[in-house]
């Protein structure tokens, strides 16, 4: 069965992203076409990239890198839950993306963003980064405004109208993760 990681892209104290990621997981878990798992970057305390060899060569030396690579490799696709910090995604998410390479390749991703303008600018930056990692992003996006989806800009209370957008994102993501599966097979292996 297709396995999707919901990557919580903020480790900031008091972060809004945890409630958003749990909302995504709650709705996604009601589906029968894929398995979903929340992956909290706070559980993978990666320092600033400290591998001497470029990740594209796959020669990881540090235990934290190997643990992160193993987790990333488990999935066929991802939902990235990203805040918008200074018109971009979070530094901790960018760092986590930079740590490994082949483990991301030929997989699909959807983006759920939040911020003052729904995190739209963070999502656009994230799409560029993901493309370089050979991750195909789906068109549908969920953009959550701090002004309308968070009481006092801090308590997540999504409107029901967000659910169809998330459903469409997940539909596209599961389909694309499946479509890319042959590219993830080693040469000569058939599913």
Q: Which domains does the chain have, with CATH numbers?
A: 3-184 (3.40.50.360)
Phi, psi at residue 157, to the nearest 5°?
Answer: -140, 80
**How high is the pLDDT of residue 191?**
52
Chain-centroid distance of CA 26 in Å reads 16
Contact call for residues 114 and 146 (beta carbons, < 8 A): yes
Three-state DSSP at 177 gives helix
Question: pLDDT above 90 covers what percent of the chain?
Answer: 96
List pLDDT tens digits, range 158-171: 999 999 999 999 99
């Amino acid at each position: 069965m297709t396995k999707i990681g919901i990557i919580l892209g903020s480790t900031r104290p008091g972060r809004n992203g945890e409630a958003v990621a749990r909302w995504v997981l709650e709705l996604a878990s009601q589906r029968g076409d894929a398995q979903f798992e929340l992956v909290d970057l706070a559980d993978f305390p990666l320092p600033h990239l400290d591998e001497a060899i470029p990740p594209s060569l796959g020669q990881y030396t540090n235990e934290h890198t190997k643990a992160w690579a193993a987790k990333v490799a488990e999935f066929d696709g991802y939902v990235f839950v990203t805040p918008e910090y200074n018109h971009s995604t979070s530094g901790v998410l960018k760092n986590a993306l930079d740590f490994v390479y082949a483990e991301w390749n030929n997989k699909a991703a959807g983006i759920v963003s939040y911020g003052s303008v729904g995190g739209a600018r963070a999502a656009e930056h994230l799409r560029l980064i993901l493309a370089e990692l050979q991750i195909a992003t789906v068109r549908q996006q969920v953009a959550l405004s701090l002004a309308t989806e968070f009481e006092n800009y801090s308590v997540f209370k999504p409107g029901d109208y967000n659910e169809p957008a998330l459903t469409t994102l997940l539909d596209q993501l599961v389909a694309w993760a499946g479509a890319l599966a042959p590219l993830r097979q080693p040469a000569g292996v058939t599913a």
